Every structure is written in structure tokens, then in C-alpha cells.
Structure 1
Amino acid sequence: MNSSAAQICTGVSRLVALFSRIPDSLIALIGRFSIAAIFWKSGQTKIEGFAVDLVAGEFQFGWPQLSDSALELFRSEYRLPLLPPELAAPMAAFGEHVFPVLILLGLATRFSALALLVMTATIQIFVYPDAYPTHGVWATVLLVLIARGPGKISLDHWLAKRYAAR
């Protein structure tokens, strides 16, 4: 191998070694925040009376109610098979609020990620089948959380350490 090729290979090897030092817990934390934000924002569009948007600085702490527009979307645009809109809309709104919070905290992370993966598959198959590039990214993040867990910066990790010591 000539000198230039050897230098390139050495440089690439060093770069790969540097990348491999990125902590899995950091990757999981970024994934948890990102996927939680996506589903939380979607859930916020389905309710009235309760709003938390840290980026926009919007806070409204009332009793959440399903919005009429959310129910209408489930009746006209989403039209899921097997579930009536009156059941699907509140289930989606509930899931898009509870599971992101659990994922953000790193509590019941694998279960919550699985629930959101099922929701993602449902959206992909029945609602927006042409949106695979977006749903594929969501599924990838959720599968990483299911397969690898939430990382060390999580309540799951803390609880596991605490109860393993007993």
C-alpha cells in the first residue's frame, strides 16, 4: 500500500476510534429527548386546556380535554380500521402524552418505546403510508431504545442499580 493510502487508512481508523468513544448513554439520551418531543408535540395538537411547550414558552395548566378538531381528524382523515374515532382519538392523545414523559425520564423506557413503535407502525400502515422516511427515523430511534435501553442517565438505570444491590 502506498504512503498516501496508508495515511488515509490511518486517519479513517483514528476517526472511527474517536466515534466509537461516544457514550451509548449520550446517544440514548439524545434519542429519548428527540422522540419524546415529536410525540409530545403531536399530542399537544389533540388537546385543549393543558399546554407545555418549553421552546415557545407556552404554558397552560388546566384540565386537558380532547379537542373537537382531533376527533374530526380521526373521523375524516385518519380513519383507522377496527377502532372508532371516539376511542382512537383519546387513546392517541393519552399515549402521546404519557409515553413521551416516561421516555424522557427513562422510566419504563422499553415498554413506552414499544407502545410508540406500535403507534408509529399504525400511522405508517393506515394513515400516512407515503411518510416512510419520517416514520423510518422514528422507528429506528424507538428500536434503539427497545434494544439497548435508556442508558445510564435514566430512572430505569437508577432503579436497576438500587434494587440489584439488595
Structure 2
Amino acid sequence: MTTAEIRMSHAPLTARLSTYARLPERVPFWAVQLTGRIAVAHVFWNSAQTKLASWEVTRQLFAYEYALPLIDPDIAAVLGTAAELAGSVMLALGLFARFGALMLIGVVATIQLFVFPENWGDHLLWFALLALILVRGAGAVSIDAIAARVLSRR
């Protein structure tokens, strides 16, 4: 069998493999954005709920374990918890999602730099999802998108 004959006999297989390889391209980008928003919102919502479950323990964590420089631990606890709560709700609803993502990127950066630098893999994953939202927005299935459509009609 010649090289040309071998190529021709594999052409249908190559075409099918190429078609299968392109199947993920059919997934709508809004589905990727929605999944990313919900996934990262879930992480920060759960973290905030843990802090709220025992505020005294949270204050002690911020005072002794987290020990952020240049900020009072009580203020840091309130700001961190508020950012996690507000940011996760904003992402889940897709309401001012870019601002929520930026807020949570600040939380991730603080955790990475001052609290748990050894957990960089988790932080990089969270950052990647938040960066997707910051750069590309909340997507078509969001309050941001609905508001944009309504306002563009006026």
C-alpha cells in the first residue's frame, strides 16, 4: 500500500476525529461563564458562612492566625467577611459581576500574600475563574446582561 493510499484510507477516520475534537466548541460561552460564576461564588459563600457561624472564633483567627499587616483584626474580619458575602452574591446573580470579581480577586490576593501562600494552587484556580468574569463579564444568563438589553432598548 502506498503512502497516498494509506492517507486516503484514514481520511474518514481523521475527519470524524476532527469533528469530535470540535464538539466542545459548541458549548455556549454563557454556560462556561455561568458555571465559573457559580463555582467560585460557592467557595466564597461557604467561607463567609463559616466565619458568621462563630464570630468570636473568626475574630481570633484574624487576630492570631491570619494577622494581616497594617489593619486591625476586627476591621479585617468585617471587611473580609463582607467581601466574601457580597462578592459571592454578585457573582451568583450576575449583578455587577465584574465588580464582585474584582473584590474577590482582592480577597484572593490577600490570602495568597499574607495568610496561606502555600495554597497557591487553589488561589490560582479561584483567580482564573474570577479573571474570566472580570475580563469577559457575567455572560448572557445574568442580571447584568438582562439590564444591558433593557437599557439598550431605551
With over 3 angstroms needed to count, the CA separation of the structure-2 counterparts of 1:7 and 1:76, relative to structure 1, is farther
- Equivalent positions of 1:131-142 (< 5 A) are 131-142=119-130
TM-superposed CA distance for 1:153, in Å, is 0.6
Is residue 31 from structure 1 mapped to residue 47 from structure 2 by the alignment? no
Q: For structure 1, list consecutive stretches of 5 or more residues without a partner in the other structure.
A: 49-65
Is residue 121 from structure 1 mapped to residue 121 from structure 2 by the alignment? no
Greater share of residues in strand:
1
Partners of 1:6 and 1:114 lie apart in 2 by 48
- Equivalent positions of 1:4-153 (< 5 A) are 6=11, 9-48=14-53, 67-153=55-141
* Identity rate, percent: 36
Larger Rg: 2
Give RMSD over aligned pairs.
Answer: 1.7
Partners of 2:119 and 2:84 lie apart in 1 by 19
Could you list the structure 1 runs, at least 4 aligned residues long, displaced by more than 3 angstroms after superposition.
Answer: 1-9
Q: TM-score, normalised by structure 1?
A: 0.83
Q: TM-score, normalised by structure 2?
A: 0.90
Deviation by residue 1:108-155 (Cα, 9 ceiling, x = unmatched) = 000100110111011011111111111111000001111111111100
Q: For structure 2, list consecutive stretches of 5 or more residues without a partner in the other structure.
A: none
Aligned residue pairs, count: 149
